[in-house]
Amino acid sequence: MDDLKYGKRNKRGDWAPNDPVETAPLFAFPPKLMAILKWLPHYFFPWNVIFALSAVAYWAWVIPPVETMRTLAIGWALWLYAVNAVCVFLFYGAFELHLYVLKRQENRFKYNGRFPSDQKNNVFWFDRQNVDNMLRTFLSGVTIWTAIEVAMLWAYANGYAPWLTFAENPWTLALVALVVPIIHEFHFFCIHRLIHVPFLYKWVHSVHHNSVNPSPWSSLSMHPVEHFLYLGTAFYHLILPSNPVLMLYQLHYAGFGAIPGHVGFDKVEVGEDKLVDSHSYAHYLHHKYFEVNYGDALIPLDKWFGTWHDGSPEGEARMQERYRRRKEKLAARKARTEVRGAAE
Amino acid sequence: MTWVSACKIEDIEQEGAVRFDHGGRTYAIYRGPDDSVYCTAGLCTHEAIHLADGLVMDFEVECPKHSGAFDYRTGEALRLPACENLKTYPAEVIDGEVRVALS
């Protein structure tokens, strides 16, 4: 597969797509019906369908009976932790094995030309990005994921969350299912912008940003506070007329859905000539440049707040202008501090 | 300002950098793609990491920790998370010997 048909590679081996990232046409004004219809299949396939089906499979085969969930107990909580851990290991591990261990597509479509394993970095536990990222994923990530899942299922089982049935409310629940990704994006933008506030960035979010060159295991490599905020997207279903399966979809959208954004490749080659888009360039640029693209491309929140970088020269110029202003502000503050220090 | 002999030019790869410690301070010395030499403070202004361990490409050095970038000719910070410029020092090559002027 010739990735240079789709993008270009610079001197240091970093690949970038030819076309700038586009936001979904959902919020365009005036509305663009044809564009929405053309875009719609990408909304469902493959990622959203995978996460939705995983929620259905959980409900069918993993989640305990409602009677059991009425009482909080370590037994079913541990069972859910074990299943979540195995599923994360298999799902994340499949991308890691295919793209980073066996390197089956080498560096084709890879944004950062280098592989994290090529260099040690003492910012990580044991100086290894993968070891650090995996430990954070299983010690804190899957644990908090499971805790939220248990709390929400217990709330449903005891009537503390509005539980509609598919038989009686198919259209309401279909609508909720459709907006699950939109809820996720809104929630993600809000908490992500919040943890970029300097104090929270320093103590919480910097852990995730240590992975400047993200790989699959970076997806849930976060500080526990960030895990709670990020996976807390399930709590919307405490007030939303919904169903436990859709709550699980919301949780899986966050938990398993973190993968595409951190896979590090623009496209994953499947077989000889099939490509699956990861839609991760916007988030890769966030990891590279830190203060752009707090959300993804589903809701144009970054456009509205002036932090959008689509990978184009214009996007780069906008970012550089903000960066220049920030440097000037910091330099002025430093100069004032020095003058004050000299005066004292 | 004192001129100090730092290393041989062949000790630095083209588009490469070496660390140079002197008088209790640390510096980074670079060899550009055109064989010109430059010297900056040795630590990233973001998190005090040795820049000589970073990737040098053209006239840019990238911090190995968070990928903050600097133009090592002028010390200008080019990319977040580095916001503060690097201090630069004059450098020259005399008979294959790299000398830097330190204050």
Q: What is the pLDDT of residues A147-189, one digit of tens each?
A: 999 999 999 999 999 999 999 999 999 999 999 999 999 999 9
B77–A11 CB contact, under 8 Å: no
Q: What is the largest CA-CA distance in chain B?
A: 38
Contacts 24+ apart (CB under 8 A), B56-61: B56/B15, B56/B16, B56/B17, B56/B30, B57/A11, B57/A12, B57/B15, B58/A11, B58/B15, B58/B32, B58/B33, B59/B32, B59/B33, B61/B17, B61/B28, B61/B30
pLDDT value at residue B102: 93
> Quick check: bond before B90 cis, omega within 30?
no
pLDDT value at residue A98: 94
pLDDT (mean) for A201-225:
93
The residue of chain B nearest to residue A119, with distances taken between CA atoms, is B64
Cβ contacts of B65 on chain A, cutoff 8 Å: 121, 123
Q: What is the pLDDT of residues A214-253, one digit of tens each?
A: 999 999 999 999 999 999 999 999 999 999 999 999 999 9
Tokens of B49: 């990491």
Distance from CA of B19 to the nearest CA of A (A): 18
Quote the Cα angle for A215-A216-A219, to 5°: 100
B84–A212 CB contact, under 8 Å: no
The residue of chain B nearest to residue A207, with distances taken between CA atoms, is B66
B57–A12 CB contact, under 8 Å: yes
Per-residue DSSP letter, B9: G
Q: Show the DSSP H helices in chain A as ranges.
A: 33-44, 47-61, 66-69, 74-95, 129-136, 142-157, 170-194, 198-200, 206-209, 224-231, 244-255, 258-262, 281-289, 301-305, 313-343
Q: Looking at the partner chain, which of A212, A323, A334 has a beta carbon nearest the beta carbon of B66?
A: A212
Cα A150 to Cα A79: distance, rounded to the nearest angstrom:
11
pTM: predicted TM-score of the whole model, two decimal places: 0.90
pLDDT value at residue A253: 97
Place of tokens 């203060």: A291
At B77, is the secondary structure helix, strand, or coil?
A: strand
Cβ contacts of A210 on chain B, cutoff 8 Å: 66
pLDDT value at residue A341: 86
Neighbour-count burial of A11, counting CB atoms closer than 10 A to its CB (0-12 exposed, 13-18 middle, 19+ buried): exposed
Cβ contacts of B67 on chain A, cutoff 8 Å: 212-213, 288
Distance from CA of B5 to the nearest CA of A (A): 31
Cα A233 to Cα A235: distance, rounded to the nearest angstrom:
5
B83–A327 CB contact, under 8 Å: yes
pLDDT value at residue B39: 98
